[in-house]
Structure 1
């Protein structure tokens, strides 16, 4: 038996007769989430290509995706006092599948979110704007919980996933801050957390400044084009 299968069994059930049932259900559910990720990634690629032709630049720098590990899924359900089952996963967790979209500028973040919202087969379930309202530690990002249909051989399933859209600077900060979650016992941790908050404030200012510079450049390009008429 593969190590992946053993992990699923250990977090789902200890009853031999139920193991195969839950194992197959869990694998099928993970397929749904993987398929939803593919669907959204394709949409993002198409949007990026379309905008790059119209605006002569790519708003999206890169896209990353991930599926929660079986152990992480089980732990989250346990912390909430919820049943560990495939039905419970679908009903209670919205971040089993996650996509991170890293953009060049702050306005790109909202443009991408709006374009996704306008698509007929995407439903926006929840929006958390940590750019306009950063977390106390300085974290900034736009979080969307979306629902998208996936079409299988004999049926259609609607799957929820989490989208995090941020700038390059925000992503760099978040990566560094993420490391601190595992080192909070360090003596220097409180001071480093303060420094990270200061960096977050500076990053906000830099993102705003960079956006203003880009808009100035775009105005110059327009004025230059007009000289030919």
Structure 2
């Protein structure tokens, strides 16, 4: 019998889609203005933030129709769905004639000292974030290995472990960048240490 060399096969990959949008500067300027206008006039949103201890402002608990309210959000929604269709192909999903549709979208204005604890997105297949404004030092988004809770007695990973083998992986919030991931992937935003607001638009997609 011929001797074979030991082999290691990578199974069950966790994919995160990243793309820089074309002509992002004008879109970001319009989204930034819209975000500050919402933060000023959305009284229901400010009450939701105060009730839930959310630093800064988010429209998550108050406005469900941003693309209908504002052309920049409508343009962003179209771009999200285009990129989500590409990501779905890379995931080898059998959509049976359907396609990813962005059904919820909310804006986040996170001030210095703000953070967003670890969470995942229920009732969706894809989730993501688009970065509008990010001062130097603004907190990244950090993804957690989805197998973490099942590792039991596994030793910790070395600090020198390659990116794909780490338990936590950070992605800097670069303005003009769109991120997409499967909605079961847990993530968080650590403390924003930047002197200024970190503005992003988060969203969920379903198959329709």
**TM-score of the pair, normalised by structure 1:** 0.23
Q: Greater RCO between the two (CA within 8 Å, min separation 6)? A: 2
Structure with greater Cα Rg: 1
Q: Between Structure 1 and Structure 2, which shows a larger proportion of helix residues?
A: 1
Q: Between Structure 1 and Structure 2, which shows a larger proportion of strand residues?
A: 2
